[in-house]
Structures are given as structure tokens and as C-alpha cells.
Amino acid sequence: MKPTQDFNFKRWVWPITYGILLFFLLQNIGRIFNLADGMMGLLSPIVIGFFIAFILNIPMRAIERGLVNRFLIRKELPSLRRTISILLTLLVVILLFTVIVRYVGPQLTDSVMLLGRQMPGYMNEVQKWVTDISQNVELPAEVATKLTTYFNDALQWLLNFLTDFVPKLIGGVVGFASSLINVFMGLVFALYMLFNKEKMVRGVKKLTAALLPENIFRKVHDVAALTNNTFNGYFTGQLTEAFVLGGLCFLGMSIFRFPYAPLISVIVGVTALIPILGAYLGAIPSAFLILIENPIKALWFVIFIVCLQQLEGSLIYPRIVGSSIGLTGFWVMAALIVGGGIAGIPGVIIGVPACSVLYTLTSKKTNEVLKKKQLDIR
């Protein structure tokens, strides 16, 4: 009789190896995190370069397709087309930073400094205003005291924030200058990536095709293409919307002579990068800034910002961002909460496109399974 093989070594070698590696990782999780931090420090120029290349690729692609390929350089000269596209992109970025530093920067600094100087007077005015209201409306003494305390605490917090803002800003500039070498190396790496992006992508495809089975390679390729299209579409739309919304806010506030127009326009533009919540996150502190100077103008500002948000939701956002997210409001909120809880502000920014990718893959897989089971769920 032939002996029966109760144990197939080849069948169990991978699960056993995986279990041993998982046990080793869990036992040395602290050392692994320390090693990862050290590796991130060494790879920081590459990470910075990849981020810069990703952002610069958005305008470069538009310039190359819409201007260089159509009017300037023949298609037979790809290297020259790419060089001119990169140079024009850098020129646009330099001009944009020049405008910000030359015009927006001083006004923004003046607004912050003016608000900091006038804050003590605002605190006294608000306290007097609350006292007058309590006397005319005949509010209970406890309610008037609580209102005064709440206003004073809020104004004191804002004063402390503005007092610490300039030193923190200077510290951020100093920290940026100290890491200028990494930023410069990252910029060089980004330019190299932009110039050779097709060649690098082709090389990665060849490597993954050689190392992975064909069916897994196809799946990895599809996921990578979906991720690239989703992130590109999302950030292109969000950045464009932020500039448009911030510009419209500054134009409207200048026409209606609202105070702190540069500061509030920057706040509205930056918070516009966050879907759904961005409009409210930008409007609440902005309205409070105007409230402590002129309550009537604060009311008109709220009306103005509501109209601007309606214009954004019905006209600007659908045309600029379009269907690049592909998520309902519930999933966008979930992505913001989870992303913010995991990685803070960066998690909030990249959480929505990442959730969009996972949602698309899950929906596709679910539909495939239902189709195999011949189920029609509606």
C-alpha cells in the first residue's frame, strides 16, 4: 500500500512563512517604526520631489496639450516640447508666487497686524455692547454674565492666536529655510520626473510585468490608472476652484468694502480645498472677524458668502470638479472624518480621492460578484 500524504509542504509553506513574518513584525513593531522614520528622513527629497512633480504636472499637462503641441513645436520634437512646457510651467509658478509676495502678502500681513492691534478695543466694545443689550432687553443677570464671559473668552482666544501667528509664521519660514537643501533637491528630482515621466512609467510597468503574474499585473495596472486619474481630476478641480473662489471673494469684498478682504479671501480660498465643510470652515471665522469690528457688515458678509457658496455649489463646482470624486455627500463626510483622524490636515486633503478609489473598486467587485451569482439587486 502507498502511504497517504497527509501534509502537503508546498501548500502550507506560504501561510507558515507569512505567519512567521507577521509574528516577527509584531514583536519588533517599535524598531520598525523607528527604521521607517529614519528612512523617511533619508527619502524626504524624493518624497518632496514626487509631491512637487505631481502638482506641477497639472499645469504642465495643460500647457503642453493646449499651447505647445498646438501652436509652438511640431510633434516630431518631443524633447523640445517637454522642455518648453516645463519652462513655461515654472514661469507661471514664479509669476504666481511673485504676485502673492508682492501684492497679497503685504495686505495679508497688514490685516493680521491691524486686527492684533485693535483686538483690545474690540473686546471692550463687545463687552459694552452685551451690557447695553442686557439692559435694554432686560436679560437675567446670569445670562448677561455668561454671554459676556463667552465673548471675552472667544476674543481672548483669537487674540492669543493672532499673537502667536507671526512668531509661528516666522518659525515656519525659518524651518523651511533650514530644509531648503531638501526642497532644492526635491525640485531637481521633480523636474527630472516631469521630463522623463513617460519613460519612468514605462519602466515601472515593465518591472511589475516581469515580477508579477499576468492577471495580477493587469489588476495592479487598472488600480494604478484609476488612482492616477482620480487624484489628478480631484486636485485639478479643487485647486482651480480654490483660486476662482478666493478671487471672487476678494473681488466681492473689495466692491462692498468689507474689512480684511485679503485675509478673508485667503481663508476662503484655502478652506475651499476641503469639500462640503470648506465653505463653512472659512465663513465662520471670517464672519467673526468682521463681527468684532462692525456687526452690520458682518450680517451683510454672511449674506454675501451664502450667495457665493450657492454660486459655487450650482455653477463653479460642477463645471470645474465635475464627477471626478464620484462620491455621495455621506461618503465624502466619512472620508474627511477618517482621513483627518488618521493624518490630520493631509489626511483631510487626500482622504476624499483615496475614498473615491476604494469606493470605485468595491463597487466594481460587488457588481462582478452579483453578476456571477446572477442576482439583480435594486
**Backbone angle region of 322, left / alpha / beta, with phi > 0 → left and psi within -120 to 50 → alpha:** left
pLDDT beyond 50 at 1? no
pLDDT tens per residue across span 164-185 = 655 555 555 555 555 677 778 8
pLDDT > 70 in the chain, percent = 66
Check if the beta carbon of residue 326 is closer than 8 Å to that of residue 359: yes
Check if the beta carbon of residue 271 is closer than 8 Å to that of residue 249: no
* pLDDT level of residue 127 (50, 70, 90 thresholds): low
Q: pTM value?
A: 0.65
State the Cα–Cα distance between residues 351 and 318, nearest whole angstrom: 20
* pLDDT level of residue 111 (50, 70, 90 thresholds): low
State the Cα–Cα distance between residues 181 and 158, nearest whole angstrom: 35
Residue 352 CB contacts under 8 Å (≥ 6 apart), including other chains: 234, 275, 325, 327, 332, 335, 336, 339
Please state, as a whole number, how many other Cβ atoms lie within 10 Å of the Cβ of residue 89: 21
Identify the sign of the CA torsion 30, 33, 39, 41.
Answer: negative
pLDDT tens per residue across span 274-311 = 777 777 778 887 887 787 677 788 889 989 988 888 87
* Higher pLDDT among residues 175 and 233, named by residue: 233
pLDDT tens per residue across span 319-333 = 666 555 667 667 777
DSSP code of residue 293: T
Alpha helices in 64-196 (DSSP H): 78-99, 105-137, 141-178, 180-195
pLDDT > 90 in the chain, percent = 1
* Higher pLDDT among residues 79 and 254, named by residue: 254
Grid coordinates standing for 300? 451683510
Check if the beta carbon of residue 269 is closer than 8 Å to that of residue 245: yes
Mean pLDDT, to the nearest integer, of 211-226? Answer: 86
Check if the beta carbon of residue 161 is closer than 8 Å to that of residue 285: no
pLDDT beyond 80 at 317? no
Query: How far is the first Cα of the chain from the last one, in angstroms, to the nearest whole number?
Result: 57
User: How many Cα atoms within 13 Å fall on the side-chain side of residue 83?
Assistant: 5
* Higher pLDDT among residues 115 and 20, named by residue: 20
Please tell me the predicted confidence (pLDDT) of residue 91: 92
Q: What is the mean pLDDT of the chain?
A: 76
Beta strands in 232-352 (DSSP E): none
pLDDT beyond 70 at 133? no
Please tell me the predicted confidence (pLDDT) of residue 225: 87
Cell 493646449: give the residue. Answer: 66
pLDDT tens per residue across span 39-91 = 666 777 888 888 888 888 888 888 888 776 666 655 667 778 888 888 989 99
Alpha helices in 179-260 (DSSP H): 180-195, 197-211, 214-255
Mean pLDDT, to the nearest integer, of 93-117? Answer: 73
State the Cα–Cα distance between residues 79 and 84, nearest whole angstrom: 9
User: How many Cα atoms within 13 Å fall on the side-chain side of residue 7?
Assistant: 4
